[in-house]
């Protein structure tokens, strides 16, 4: 049976181009799209991002905020990412963890000449799926904000022209938010490989994301509070959404996203190394 699987894996790579990686991408995409939870979780990413963003902008009022109003309406429109990232974590962990739970991981690695190709294909498919869902979620959130905010008093007259990707800070926040969710997906997938337990991986990543802001709110030392915001993956990564400097930032927008990128890269590289040398 293993000989047949290896043969099928090699033929799949030739058929879909790109050698072993092409075959891995095709196989991982086939597996991911045939899992019922994938579609629901992708829909959840969009619904949670748009829904919470609408709740924030729909209840906002420009009354009493001054002229020009200092509210960061772009960041508020994209606020739902703080919740929808949980759906990204679950999607990415299930994409990896389900194979450990069912034992299918053994078949995956036997069908390819090198184990790392199977995992690289899985990471690429997870990143691509999250990229599509995140792009839709961010785009719709900004459209909803553009539609809702003028009715709440946020108009060009008080310093808030309609949200538009033609505006550089808005475009940076939109692109950065999409990349943020992709990096969260890669971080989660990497942790799932290292932990090899679905519940443990989901819990671990969610704690990593949400615990630092909670701890920072309880810390009385201003220096340590700033350090937590600067180096915690969620706080640092979401600095890319800031378009108005309401207060001195703890870290710059792209530098903050870079901090999250280091977390994600460390998880992915560690997962590739461990997956190559450890028994599946």
* 74-110 per-position pLDDT tens digit: 999 999 999 999 999 999 999 887 766 555 555 555 5
Note whether 180 and 84 are within 8 A (CB): no
Report pLDDT for 173.
97
User: Residue 249 carries which DSSP code?
Assistant: -
pLDDT in tens, 179-196: 999 999 999 999 999 998
H or E element that contains 145? helix 115-148
Rg (CA), the chain: 21
Please say if the pLDDT value at position 11 is more than 50: no
pLDDT in tens, 232-247: 999 999 999 999 875 5
Report pLDDT for 23.
61
Report pLDDT for 3.
42
Note whether 80 and 50 are within 8 A (CB): yes
Q: What angle do CA 96, 97, 102 make, to 5 degrees?
A: 110
Query: Per the confidence metrics, is the pTM higher than 0.75?
Result: yes
Note whether 261 and 239 are within 8 A (CB): no
Chain centroid, CA 184 distance in Å: 4
**Banded model confidence at residue 13, pLDDT cuts 50, 70, 90:** very low
Report pLDDT for 162.
92
Rounded CA-CA distance 78/75 in Å is 5
Helix axis angle for 81-102 and 198-218, nearest 10°, is 150
Report pLDDT for 68.
62
Between 146 and 64, the higher pLDDT residue: 146
């Amino acid at each position: 049976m293993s000989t047949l699987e290896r043969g099928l894996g090699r033929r799949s790579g030739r058929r879909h181009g790109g050698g072993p990686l092409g075959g891995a991408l095709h196989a991982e995409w086939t597996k991911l799209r045939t899992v019922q939870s994938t579609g629901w979780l992708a829909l959840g990413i969009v619904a949670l991002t748009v829904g919470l963003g609408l709740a924030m902008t729909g209840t906002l009022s420009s009354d009493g905020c001054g002229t020009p109003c200092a509210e960061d309406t772009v960041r508020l429109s994209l606020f739902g990412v703080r919740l929808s990232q949980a759906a990204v974590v679950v999607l990415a962990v299930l994409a990896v963890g389900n194979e450990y739970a069912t034992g299918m991981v053994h078949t995956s690695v036997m069908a390819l000449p090198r184990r790392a190709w199977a995992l690289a294909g899985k990471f690429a498919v997870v990143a691509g799926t999250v990229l599509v869902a995140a792009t839709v979620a961010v785009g719709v959130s900004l459209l909803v904000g553009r539609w809702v905010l003028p009715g709440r008093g946020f108009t060009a007259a008080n310093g808030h022209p309609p949200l538009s990707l033609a505006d550089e800070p808005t475009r940076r926040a939109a692109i950065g938010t999409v990349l943020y969710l992709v990096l969260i997906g890669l971080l989660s997938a990497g942790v799932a490989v290292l932990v090899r337990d679905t519940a443990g991986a989901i819990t671990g990543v969610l704690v990593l994301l949400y615990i630092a802001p909670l701890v920072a709110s309880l810390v009385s030392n201003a220096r340590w509070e700033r350090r937590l915001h600067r180096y915690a993956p969620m706080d640092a990564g979401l600095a890319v959404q800031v378009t108005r400097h309401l207060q001195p930032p703890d870290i710059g927008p792209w530098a903050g996203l870079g901090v999250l990128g280091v977390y994600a890269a460390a998880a992915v590289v560690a997962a590739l190394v461990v997956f190559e040398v450890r028994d599946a």
